[in-house]
Amino acid sequence: MKSGESGELFLQHAALIIEQGLEQALPAADEYSRPLHEAMRYALFPGGKRLRPLMVLSAARAVHGNPEAALPGAVAIELIHTYSLIHDDLPAMDNDDYRRGRPTVHRVAGEAMAILAGDGLLTLAFEVLGRAAEAGVPPERVAVAVSVLARAAGPAGMVAGQAADIDQTAPATMDRLRYLHSQKTAALFEAAAMLGPVLSGSPGGMVELLRQFGRSFGLAYQIIDDLEDQKQDAGRSAVSTYPGLAGPQAAAEEARRYCDQATVIASRLPAGDGLVALVGMVQSHLDMPVH
Ligand code: GRG
């Protein structure tokens, strides 16, 4: 990755590095663990948009950090995201049969193996991040990165959001919705934006600025995702979504506001063009026509 390339070109190169990093992170299966490894691999490849690892590497670039130091963070966060999708699709949660146009992991590997594949990816994430010292990252930075990621993914972040989301008895209020978005979606994006500067050793002020970037991005992204679902569902939206509670127009305005906040922050950073391009990628969905 060259420092003079545009934000868009940077994202293209970063995407290739992320695929290689994920490929190398998956341990080889032995005779008895083959079904587990096949289930993990099925969930990871081909992946989705890889937004979170792209954010880790773009945030490292934004502060002139070393992308090699940030790669373990990028891989670890995608492993966690993938685990969360496997578990979210399970019969006990959303009970989804398809994800990314293919049968979900529990549909092809069975429920017990899907649970274990998720457990395997979650644990592997911390093994990968813990080994960042091997890429030359000082141990004290590795320790901060581990705690940033664990907090965002765990019972103060994504898991709390998921637990609140499955509570069917809770009233669908804007207050609850904001909590869900903040914990279930934005927490992991906040960590993604922080891991780059943390692993590359940026000052605390930069890490905080990038946390705010990740939060605005995550809040925008959840609303945009719900608006997309609404378009695909012939204009209907679940009541427990922003478009469902406030209407599609207000939802789109709110998403634009968060995108603008994120862009302003990224534009102030020394090399924030990768992050600006990432915001542009998701914001472009707001302007797409309904079909
Ligand atoms: C099971 C602990 C646990 C958590 C699940 C991520 C999640 C929490 C649930 C998935 C459902 C959902 C709508 C979450 C909101 C975040 C979101 C839009 C996830 C999808 O992320 P993308 O679009 O997925 O980045 P791809 O397919 O591109 O990887």
DSSP per residue over 67-91, as a string?
Answer: HHHHHHHHHHHHHHHHHHHHHHHST
**pLDDT exceeds 80 at position 290:** no
Domains of the chain: 7-287 (1.10.600.10)
Q: Which atom of ligand 1 is the closest one to the Cα of 153?
A: 2
Longest dimension (CA), the chain: 54
> Which residue, judged by its Cα, is nearest atom 5 of ligand 1?
84
Q: What's the pTM?
A: 0.96
Which residues are within 8 A (CB) of 137 and not within 5 positions of it... i.e. 6 or more apart? 69, 72, 145, 199
User: Using the 8-state DSSP alphabet, how is residue 102 labeled?
Assistant: E
Cis status of the peptide bond prior to 289, with omega within 30 of 0: no
- Three-class DSSP category at 99: strand
Nearest ligand 1 atom, CA 88: 1
**pLDDT tens digits for 6-53?**
999 999 999 999 999 999 999 888 889 999 999 999 999 999 999 999
Name the residue at shortest CA distance from atom 16 of ligand 1.
185
**274 pLDDT exceeds 50?**
yes
Pocket of ligand 1, beta carbon within 6 A: 48-49, 51, 84-85, 87-88, 100, 158-159, 162, 184-185, 222, 225
